[in-house]
Amino acid sequence: MSFLPLSAGEMAAKGWEDADFICVTGDSYVDHPSFGVAIISRLLESAGFRVCILAQPQSPADYARFGRPRLGFFVNGGNIDSMVSNYTAAKKRRSDDSYTAGNKAGRRPDRALITYCRGIRAVYPDIPVIIGGIEASFRRFAHYDYHGDTVRPSILPDSGADILSYGMGERQTREIARRLADGEPVSSLVDIRGTCVMSNGAGLPKNAVTCASLRRVSENKEAYARAFKMQLDEQDPVTGKPVIQQHGERYLVQNPPAPPLNTQELDEIFDLPFERMYHPSYEALGGVKSILEVEFSIMHNRGCFGGCNFCSITLHQGRCLTARSKASILREAKRITASPRFKGYIHDVGGATANFRHPSCEKQLTKGFCRDRRCLGREPCPNLTVDHSEYLDILRALRALPGVKKVFVRSGLRYDYINQDHDGTFLRELVEHHVSGQLKIAPEHCSGPVLDLMGKPRIESFYRFADNFNRLTKAAKKEQYLVPYLMSSHPGSALKDAVALALFLKKRRIRPEQVQDFYPTPGTASTCMFYTGLNPFTMEPVYVPREPEEKAMQRALLQYFKPENRALVIKALKKAGRTDLIGPGPECLIPAGNKEECTLKTPAGKRKPAPRAGGRGILAAGTPEAAKYPPRGNKKKGKGKKDGGR
């Protein structure tokens, strides 16, 4: 095995005078199946093509590094949308990049696909250019762009590429490569499932649905929401129809989704000769940090029928669940254990959702997914197939392998799905064998209306799971904790909801070290809500926290216990009319300070005392009386970090 050429010298060492395809990526080159460019390049190699890797090009000379490829360029912006990679939810530029050698930001341009495609066109104006990956999938239709606070056109015409491959891409990549090799012009490749092309209006698909145009969705938010719902409805590989969206004088045509790979095909992908490591040229720079989480991890599935509205998986991997075979997983595990770097710990056996191994129900295999119902959400569908037995069998086989000390599950688990498994064996063995001290789960919030807009189960489902987890942990005589992922400022979350979430955390004795502000990434239902103020599934109005100050207050409430958040939390509690939560009582979020902090202005501008807390008066911090009623916290040293940290 060997890496694919990253330089002209490496290409010459293989005896090649040129390449058939050049794969461009916004990441440093990591030859591991967790990286999209690694999969696509190895897939092309397995089909007999000569493939070179152009990682993070910076200049015209970089695009000419390997000379003109015989057939074309496949361009990927990286494992993360470049704007998400480069900026925080507060629109501040990030200082690090775990997908870049040396962990340094600045090697990946903003709107990477557009930059790379224009760079290619400047050197080779007529070469076929195919874009794909997360950034292409997210931005394939006219979409709201958070960083520009505007609706941008599809990235296909914006970049000047010939074809946009959306989704995971293996099927369409094979067909594009084969047809180009057979001599077909790229302009004729307009009928490939899983791709988008631009059309002048001639020969548009007759069975297509037409959504509102770029101009219309840019001017009318209701039209944007309705167009989004129409686009989402057609993402089903069984029932999906072509979708047309006018862009000026031209038309974006999305062909129906490509069918997901079956188990045998997915096994074949993971059997490709990956080096499972970053290119050795990066060693002097300190390597590529993102390999640390995946080098000794195993993906056993693809796709997710969970349906969270803020998640991009529906738009990229899709709702159809495909799982690898046990034999394939064990082959990969044996390759992992043979590595001299392996220390006995398999870090994860997961995927988009770790505990999914089967399609949500038999019906969706032949009739597609229900358009107006969810497999999981507020309540699980009564037709949902719940079965952990195959996943459990794989975990048992992995932990029995020679050289394996522990097998952990660190990918996200759907605890509402686990709650539906009445057997109980999976959760017991998960607790006994597969938790590395902390189990990450994602309740995200506690407010019912907010959870509904997120597409998440009600908080009672979390309570049920947490009680079972804690009971089994105690029975196993282990010290293990649940680490909840939490999100502030999601559409629908008003200040009162953030206060309720803070009270939930206090009651559950959870002190999160990290919390996540809602990040409006292109293409998700939650981003549609953020931009339009409408729920695209019901067209009902949705409250959206937009002002930086309110978002900062919601975030601070999730970490109300931090001294540096005190002023913001007090301001938030005043604005929410909850100054009863400032004081010495055990139910209060903030200890009382001076009188000014604990008073409210009346409409006439006069001041009045804040409501009493817990039947006791407001006490100044530092007094003997206040010392009797400290904020309730974790008494055991270190427990707060384990119990609440992300």
The DSSP call for residue 93 is B
Q: Are 395 and 346 in contact (CB under 8 A)?
A: no
Helix (H, G, I), strand (E, B) or coil at 607: strand
**pLDDT-above-90 percentage for the chain:** 84
Distance between CA 218 and CA 322 in Å, rounded?
Answer: 37
* β-bridge mates for residue 301, sequence order: 323
Distance between CA 608 and CA 283 in Å, rounded?
Answer: 65
Tokens (6 digits) for 408: 């952990």
DSSP H helical segments within 338-424, as ranges?
363-367, 389-399, 415-419
Distance between CA 382 and CA 565 in Å, rounded?
Answer: 44
Distance between CA 189 and CA 231 in Å, rounded?
Answer: 22
Length of the chain equals: 646
Helix (H, G, I), strand (E, B) or coil at 290: helix
Q: Are 195 and 170 in contact (CB under 8 A)?
A: no
Residue 628: predicted pLDDT: 30
Range 282-309 average pLDDT: 95
pLDDT band at 372 (very low <50, low <70, confident <90, very high): confident
Model confidence over 482-501: pLDDT tens digits? 989 999 999 999 999 999 99
Q: Put the strands of the sheet holding 481-488 in their side by side order.
A: 438-444, 481-488, 516-517
Residue 514: predicted pLDDT: 81
Sign of CA dihedral 471, 474, 478, 483: positive
Which stretch of DSSP H or E encloses residue 172?
helix 170-181
Model confidence over 374-396: pLDDT tens digits? 899 899 999 999 999 999 999 99
Does 640 score more than 50 pLDDT?
no
Residue 513: predicted pLDDT: 82
Instruction: Count the neighbouring beta carbons within 10 Å of the beta carbon of residue 477.
Output: 6
Q: Are 234 and 240 in contact (CB under 8 A)?
A: yes
pLDDT band at 262 (very low <50, low <70, confident <90, very high): very high
Range 618-644 average pLDDT: 33
CA distances from 531 to 88, 144, 222 (A): 18, 7, 10
Does 160 score more than 90 pLDDT?
yes
Q: What is the mean pLDDT of the chain?
A: 90
**pLDDT-above-70 percentage for the chain:** 92
Tracing tokens 């974790």 back to the chain, one arrives at 634
Tokens (6 digits) for 574: 């005043």
Residue 505: predicted pLDDT: 94
Cα of 403 vs its chain's centroid, Å: 32
Residue 629: predicted pLDDT: 30
Tokens (6 digits) for 330: 């064990």
Q: Are 211 and 243 in contact (CB under 8 A)?
A: yes
Residue 591: predicted pLDDT: 87
Distance between CA 401 and CA 383 in Å, rounded?
Answer: 36
Residue 594: predicted pLDDT: 55
Nearest to 589 by CA among 613, 554, 625, 622: 613
> Environment class of residue 122 by beta-carbon count within 10 Å: exposed (0-12), middle (13-18) or buried (19+)?
exposed
> Environment class of residue 62 by beta-carbon count within 10 Å: exposed (0-12), middle (13-18) or buried (19+)?
middle
